[in-house]
Amino acid sequence: MFDLLQTYNPIYSRRKFVLRSNHSGSGSSDPVNTTLRVNGRTHELSIDSRLTLLDTLRDVLGLTGTKKGCDQGACGACTVIVDSQRVLSCLTLAAANEGRDVVTIEGLSTNGELHPMQAAFLHCDGFQCGYCTPGQILSAVCTVQEVHAGVPSHVTRDVRQTVDSATLTDEEIRERMSGNLCRCGAYPNIVAAVRQVLSAS
Partner 1 sequence: MNTFTFQQAAGAKEAAGAVASRPGAMFLAGGTTLVDLMKVDVLRPDTVVDVRLPGLSSIDVTERGIAIGAAVTNSELAWHPVVRDRLPLLSEAILSGATTQIRNMATVAGNILQRTRCPYFRDVHASCNRRQPGSGCDALDGFNRGHAVLGVSDHCIATHPSDMCVAMAVLDAEVHTIRANGTARSIPFGQFHKAPGNTPHVEVALAHGELITHIVVPYLPAGRRSHFLKVRDRASYEFALAAAAVVLDLDGDTIRAARLGLGGIATRPWRATDAERILTGRKATDDAFRKAAEMALAGAVAREHNGFKIELAKRTIVRAFAIARDARV
**Binding residues with partner 1: total (CB under 8 A):** 46
Amino acid at 24: S
Task: Specify the stretch interacting with partner 1 by CB under 8 A; choose among 3-11, 21-29, 57-65, 111-119.
Answer: 21-29
Taking the complex as a whole, how short is the minimal distance between the CB of residue 102 and partner 1, in angstroms? Answer: 13
Q: By the 8 A CB rule, do 52 and 91 touch?
A: yes
Q: Which helix (H) or strand (E) holds 43?
A: strand 41-48
DSSP state letter for 25? S
Name the 3-class secondary structure at 174.
Answer: helix
Sheet-wide strand order for 85-88 = 41-48, 31-38, 101-103, 79-82, 85-88
> Per CB under 8 A, does 44 bind partner 1?
no
Using the rule CB under 8 A, which residue among 73, 130, 185, 188 binds partner 1? 73
> Per CB under 8 A, does 88 bind partner 1?
yes
Using the rule CB under 8 A, which residue among 52, 118, 136, 196 binds partner 1? 52
C-alpha neighbours within 13 Å on the C-beta side of residue 35: 5
Task: Specify the stretch interacting with partner 1 by CB under 8 A; choose among 38-46, 70-78, 120-128, 193-201.
Answer: 70-78
Going by C-beta distance under 8 Å and a sequence separation of 6 or more, which residues neighbour residue 97?
34, 36, 53, 82
Which CB atom, from 21 or from 109, has the smaller least distance to partner 1?
Answer: 21
Residues forming the site for partner 1 (CB under 8 A): 18-19, 22-23, 26-30, 32, 49-50, 52, 71-73, 76, 79, 85-88, 91-93, 95-96, 98, 139, 142-143, 146, 149, 151-154, 156, 158-160, 174-176, 178-179
